[in-house]
Amino acid sequence: MRRHGDLPFDFDEEYRPTSPKSSVGLYDLSPDHLYQLLRMTLLAKTTTGKTIGKYTVEDYRIVHLTHSQNDRINILYQEYLALSPGLQRFSGRPLHDVWNELLSVRERGRFVCGHWDAAISAIKNDQLRAYLSDRYA
């Protein structure tokens, strides 16, 4: 992807110590919640344009929902970033904000985030809403 100029992240193409972007790389995305977003993004990106059975993947959206009160995931704590030197400057910031910032401009519109506990009330199907509320409340 990098060779074709299609990397879904806003990293510099070549390392330049004076550029703030040059300090972030794929190796920094090892904390679990960032790694999961990395895997979903790369899978979606590589399958776009491919035919699977009778369906062709035309585009994608990554929807990442967390519980609004789960700050262990919602916030990037310093303890998660011990092996991610390029992300040190993001310590204490909301995960979804940081992920949006790490994505390339063209990919940001494909990332949708929010809190599932707030989203459940927006579900119009009464049976599904009741099931999800019972299961995840």
3-state secondary structure 4-19: CCCCCECCCCCCCCCC
Rounded to an integer, what distance in angstroms lies between the CA atom of residue 100 and that of residue 91? 15
Find the helix or strand (DSSP H, E) in which 44 lies: helix 32-47
Nearest to 114 by CA among 78, 61, 77, 42: 61
Q: In the numeric block, which tokens belong to residue 81?
A: 């970033």
pTM, two decimals, is 0.80
Confidence of residue 12 (pLDDT cuts 50, 70, 90): low
Type of residue at 72: R
Asked whether the predicted pLDDT for residue 33 surpasses 50, the reply is yes
pLDDT of residue 14: 47
64-117: per-residue pLDDT in tens? 999 899 999 999 999 989 889 989 999 999 999 999 999 999 899 999 999 988
Q: What pLDDT is attached to residue 56?
A: 96
